[in-house]
A = this chain, B = another copy of it.
Amino acid sequence: MKAASQATTGLDIKQLMQRLGERARAAARLMSRAETAAKDAALLAIAAAVEQRRAALVEANKKDLDAGAKSGLDSAMLDRLELNGARIQSMADGLRQIATLPDPVGEISELKRRPSGIQVGRMRVPLGVIGIIYESRPNVTADAAGLCLKSGNAAILRGGSEALHSNQAIAACIHAGLSAAGLPADAVQVVETADRAAVGELIRMKNYVDVIVPRGGKGLIERISAEATVPVIKHLHGICHVYIDDLADLDKSVTVAYNAKTQRYGTCNTMETLLVAEGVAAKVLPRLAALYRDAGVELRGCARTRAILSGIKTATEQDWDTEYLAPILAVRVVAGLDEAIDHIQRHGSNHTDAIMTQDISRANRFLREVDSSSVMVNASTRFADGFEYGLGAEIGISTDKLHARGPVGLEGLTSQKFIVIGDGHVRK
């Protein structure tokens, strides 16, 4: 099956998006009942197409890169936009990896017999149509399409206008793979207009779209959350904390706090604020400060931190609320667990927070009372990730409370309905 053209002749944006929506809805019905073998065959065929069309992908990407350079995109943007051999291979590998994951659709759990005689259970089903809105990285087109496909959903993808040629070239691979496996090409549609009004339509088409997943900077996600009437799975930002308790193993604490900050700076699960119990601050902070100094991490401390680490900058109130995404770390000395939890509740972003302690009661209190999507004991915040958690892949990390929380993998793109099996049973 071939995807219908999106030629906009005579169609305004609203009509264009409604048509995409109708096609997606129809494709979603077919996808929801697609066999696992067909979905996996499509994923493998898309991976093969991506590899085979490597040259065409690079060529399409070059058009975007040239246009981007002309329009003055900065080097970080251009880097994100680039599709090179390694990145193309990584797209193909990612699709093959999704093919190896178990199919969540149709899984029946908790089928229990009730006193009335009926059996009641839950069946996992796709959400339906998923709208993905993302910025410059074209690999998201393949990753997101792969996850939606495997979970039996239809996807409408809206990438950045600066990546349009790249995204269209990837979409051609996706359609080739879907067709090869006998699945509807409309199961993955890429919005082909650069008109920004398309996003406004997409996030309000409640009849056609079941959930929106925005991927990108805080600005994009805030705008979409504010305007969407379709439910949004989002995370705005990650202000992650490590709290070193006075009953912590200090060697492990130094190792973890160093890793949580320096293993990568630009990721949402990187520690941005270190909290240290006053009882161990004088012992642990100088050791950490030496390591951070060698790594080129700038420290900004509260008054009590600065009494121990002379010469570092003063942390202002604003520092506690800042996601640096850079080699900068805010440091605060706290009285103990209660003050640490208070700080996290006030300044955290419900993303990922960790405690270092050997005390089981304190560990349990931290696990229970810290209201974040991932809460950790004696482990680096950098583990908050779909691959590390064994979800296989992730479409994003949700800091919301409803539906999916934390890394969202295939299961987060499904829901569960109740099934009831009787044998002529009636209610009395």
Contacts and interface: CB of A to CB of B under 8 A. Distances in A.
B120 A427 contact: no
Question: Which of A253, A371, A426 has the most chain B CB within a 10 Å cutoff?
Answer: A426
B256 A374 contact: no
A403 B406 contact: no
Contact of A390 (B120, B249, B376, B378): B120
B263 A371 contact: no
Given A378-B421, A378-B422, A378-B425, 13 more contacts: A29-B345, A114-B389, A120-B388, A255-B424, A372-B417, A374-B418, A374-B420, A377-B419, A377-B421, A380-B422, A380-B427, A383-B420, A384-B418
Question: Which of A376, A423, A427 has the most chain B CB within a 10 Å cutoff?
Answer: A427
Interface of A: 29, 32-33, 106, 112, 114, 116, 118, 120, 123, 125, 127-128, 210-211, 231, 249, 251-253, 255-256, 258-260, 263, 345, 354, 365, 367-369, 371-380, 382-384, 388-390, 401-403, 405-407, 415-427
Contacts of A116: 383, 388
A76 to B, nearest CB: 23
Contact of A114 (B33, B378, B388, B426): B388
Contacts of A378: 421-425
Contacts of A373: 417-418
A117 to B, nearest CB: 9
Q: Copies per complex?
A: 2
B367 A123 contact: yes
Nearest to A105: B368
A3 to B, nearest CB: 23
Question: Which of A249, A368, A384, A420 has the most chain B CB within a 10 Å cutoff?
Answer: A420
B402 A402 contact: yes
A263 to B, nearest CB: 5
B421 A415 contact: no
A424 B252 CA distance: 5
Contact of A249 (B32, B231, B372, B424): B424
Contacts of A384: 418, 420
A212 B118 CA distance: 31
